[in-house]
Amino acid sequence: MAILIPRYFLFILFWFLICSLTQADTLREYHQRKCNEGEEKSCQRAEAMLQGERLGDRIVELGDHFAGTVDRLKREENNKPILKDAYIDVLDDYFKSSSKKGEGQASNNEIFTLCAEHFHDYWRNRKMWWPTDEDGKPDWSKIYYYIVDHYYGYCLAITTL
């Protein structure tokens, strides 16, 4: 029995050593490596993931800009965001910036209003929290990101049913 413990210990030590030497890639890096090896499907996936990363970075930049220009007197009440109104402002800002690059989308105020009400109700009344900064004030940069995500992830899905 005394001989089995050292072998078991050596096996575990050897296993952890091997595992620590493996390279950790993101999924995009993995597909890029497979693409470089000649797999066409991985090339398509890597490109789609790269475009998604660029879009995410762009939304963060737009959110940071929006956070710096938002009129807190109009969009907050007792340190609570008025998300119904902000939703439409955010999407207008987002689509205006997209139209400069040729990717714009015509706004549909009826759909925007329904989505804004859903978003407001979900965050303010159901979840009862929203992204805040260190001072407890609404974090408009993150709210911007969540609004764009809600629009593409929920509203467009609902309208295409």
Read off the pLDDT of residues 33-60 as tens digits, 9 standing for 90 and up: 888 988 889 888 888 888 888 988 999 9
Q: What is the mean pLDDT of the chain?
A: 82
Model-wide pTM > 0.75: no
Strand-pair partners of 76: 81
| Lowest model confidence (mean pLDDT) among 20-29, 81-90, 98-107 | 98-107
Question: Does the pLDDT at position 85 exceed 70?
Answer: yes
pLDDT band at 98 (very low <50, low <70, confident <90, very high): confident
Residue 109 has a CB neighbour count (10 Å cut-off) of 10
| Lowest model confidence (mean pLDDT) among 48-52, 65-69, 86-90 | 48-52
pLDDT digits (tens, 9 = 90+) for 6-29: 666 666 766 665 655 455 567 888
Question: Does the pLDDT at position 102 exceed 50?
Answer: no
Residue 140 lies in a domain: yes
Question: Does the pLDDT at position 127 exceed 90?
Answer: no
Look-up of token digits 């001989």: 3
Among residues of the chain, what percentage have pLDDT more than 70? 79
Residue 7 lies in a domain: no
Residue 19 lies in a domain: no
Residue 126 lies in a domain: yes
CB 50 within 8 A of CB 42: no
Question: Does the pLDDT at position 65 exceed 90?
Answer: yes
Residue 10 lies in a domain: no
pLDDT band at 101 (very low <50, low <70, confident <90, very high): low
Residue 124 has a CB neighbour count (10 Å cut-off) of 16
Residue 126 has a CB neighbour count (10 Å cut-off) of 8
Residue 75 lies in a domain: yes
Question: Does the pLDDT at position 94 exceed 80?
Answer: yes
Residue 6 lies in a domain: no
Number of domains composing the chain = 1
Token digits of residue 31: 């597909």
Residue 63 lies in a domain: yes
In which domain, by residue range, is 55 found?
A: 25-159
